[in-house]
């Protein structure tokens, strides 16, 4: 019998339940972890519980619905983000208000972390040890919160009113939280009164564009993308080092930011006229790019995420949500824009996890 744990989390610990489930029925073989290039977390359709996990292996073959295949049940409703912690994957299901935990070697369920009503989980960040940060977006009736959770004990250590938060980054013992403001907390003293805000040179809040994440460069500085700027942050001093205004390219709600394997070139998605594609910026440059490296508009219908893969030469992975109701695609291009592959995955591919 396979032990299946269910962890119930609230502002205070609610309890740990365990039960036995039937043995997993192995319907079809899935690639071993060592054969996988990357995982794709597919959001699915809202309210339909069609979230799923796909993988692409080193033969560039796609295996879809990994979680359902290995566990004989759906993953849940609206997959938002994931993290690899030790020998497990943690999948955050926004509308199911839970985190599914599986063994990374075979995608077999290990635990379900059920969150109470009212929490709308979005982005997970591993903080080391048994701690994760789980951020929310701003909600209609209240400000979004940042939850610090002990994943071993099933306990919420604290929650902070922090506003809409996207993917946090832990650097040098600090947690940087982008969103409608850029905030920073020191690990070990993450309380509301110890929270700091980093503002731009004019004293304005730094609102990260959409889900554009923070990336760390070769100098251990952080970069973020706003609606009209690239901004560089000094991690130690917690202040803005450089602001690059973007005027010739349109930064849109779905623009994303990535960095090269050498960590000295930024890539971001943008629009130039009717063309949507990728732009390039060296961290030593003083002016923003005025044009795209290439456009993917002839192939990608609805860009939903963008990731720079560091396998050999940098390549770009572009998630295409198509119509948000049918299976989507992940397109792969060289860093010069040459088309390489198109992978058919699940409904609304939302998050790409590169495997080491």
Compute the average pLDDT of residues 267-294. 97
pLDDT band, very low/low/confident/very high, at 115 (cuts 50, 70, 90)? confident
The whole-number pLDDT of residue 94 equals 92
Lowest mean pLDDT among 141-145, 192-196, 217-221: 141-145
The whole-number pLDDT of residue 6 equals 47
The whole-number pLDDT of residue 28 equals 58
When the pLDDT of each residue in the chain is averaged and rounded to a whole number, the result is 89
Q: 58-113 pLDDT, tens per residue?
A: 999 999 999 999 999 999 999 999 999 999 999 999 999 999 999 999 999 999 99
Spans of all domains in the chain = 1-160
Share above pLDDT 70 across residues of the chain, in percent, rounded to a whole number: 90
State both tokens at 277: 């594609």
pLDDT at 2 over 90: no
Antiparallel, parallel or unpaired: β 294-295 and 2-8:
unpaired
The whole-number pLDDT of residue 139 equals 66
pTM of the model: 0.90
pLDDT at 251 over 80: yes
Compute the average pLDDT of residues 317-328. 97
pLDDT at 199 over 50: yes
* Sheet bearing 174-177, strands edge to edge: 169-171, 174-177, 182-186, 196-198
∠ CA 233-237-239, nearest 5°, is 40
The whole-number pLDDT of residue 213 equals 80
The whole-number pLDDT of residue 14 equals 36
Cα–Cα distance between 166 and 112 in angstroms, integer? 23
pLDDT at 19 over 80: no
Largest CA distance in the chain: 61
The whole-number pLDDT of residue 5 equals 46
pLDDT at 16 over 80: no
pLDDT at 209 over 90: no
The whole-number pLDDT of residue 141 equals 63
Q: For residue 81, give the 3-state DSSP assignment.
A: strand
How many residues are listed for the chain in this entry?
Answer: 356
The whole-number pLDDT of residue 12 equals 35
Compute the average pLDDT of residues 180-189. 92
The whole-number pLDDT of residue 140 equals 63
State both tokens at 227: 């609606």
pLDDT at 133 over 80: yes
Q: 223-243 pLDDT, tens per residue?
A: 999 999 999 999 999 999 999
State both tokens at 244: 């690059």
pLDDT band, very low/low/confident/very high, at 116 (cuts 50, 70, 90)? confident
Domain 1-160 = CATH 1.25.40.10: no
Lowest mean pLDDT among 9-13, 59-63, 111-115, 198-202: 9-13
Lowest mean pLDDT among 27-31, 167-171, 274-278, 325-329: 27-31
State both tokens at 107: 């995608």
């Amino acid at each position: 019998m396979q032990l299946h744990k269910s962890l119930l989390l609230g502002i205070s610990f609610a309890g740990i339940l365990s039960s036995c489930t039937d043995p997993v029925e192995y319907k079809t073989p899935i690639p071993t972890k060592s054969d996988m290039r990357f995982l794709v977390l597919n959001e699915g359709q809202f309210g339909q519980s069609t979230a799923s996990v796909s993988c692409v292996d080193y033969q560039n073959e796609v295996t879809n619905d990994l979680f359902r295949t290995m566990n004989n049940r759906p993953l849940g409703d609206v997959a938002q983000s994931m993290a690899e912690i030790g020998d497990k994957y943690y999948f955050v299901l926004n509308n199911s208000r839970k985190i599914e935990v599986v063994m990374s070697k075979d995608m077999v369920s290990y635990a379900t972390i059920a969150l109470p009503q009212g929490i709308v989980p979005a982005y997970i960040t591993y903080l080391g040890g048994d701690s994760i940060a789980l951020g929310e977006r701003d909600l209609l009736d209240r400000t979004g919160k940042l939850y610090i959770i002990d994943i071993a004990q099933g306990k919420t250590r604290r929650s902070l009113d922090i506003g809409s938060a996207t993917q946090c980054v832990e650097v040098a013992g600090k947690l940087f939280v982008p969103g409608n403001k850029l905030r920073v907390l020191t690990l070990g003293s993450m309380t509301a009164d110890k929270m700091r805000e980093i503002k731009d040179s004019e004293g304005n809040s730094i609102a990260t564009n959409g889900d554009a994440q923070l990336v760390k460069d070769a100098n251990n500085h952080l970069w973020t993308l706003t609606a009209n700027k690239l901004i560089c942050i000094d991690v130690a001093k917690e202040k803005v080092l450089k602001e690059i205004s973007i005027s010739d390219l349109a930064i849109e709600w779905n623009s994303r930011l990535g960095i090269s394997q050498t960590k000295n070139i930024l890539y971001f998605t943008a629009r130039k006229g009717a063309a949507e594609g990728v732009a390039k910026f060296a961290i030593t440059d003083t002016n923003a790019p005025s044009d795209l490296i290439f456009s993917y508009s002839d192939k990608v219908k609805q860009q939903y995420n963008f990731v720079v893969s560091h396998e050999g030469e940098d390549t770009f992975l572009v998630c295409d949500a198509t119509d948000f109701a049918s299976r989507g695609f992940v397109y792969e291009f060289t860093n010069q824009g040459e088309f390489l592959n198109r992978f058919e995955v699940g409904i609304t591919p939302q998050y790409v996890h590169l495997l080491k």
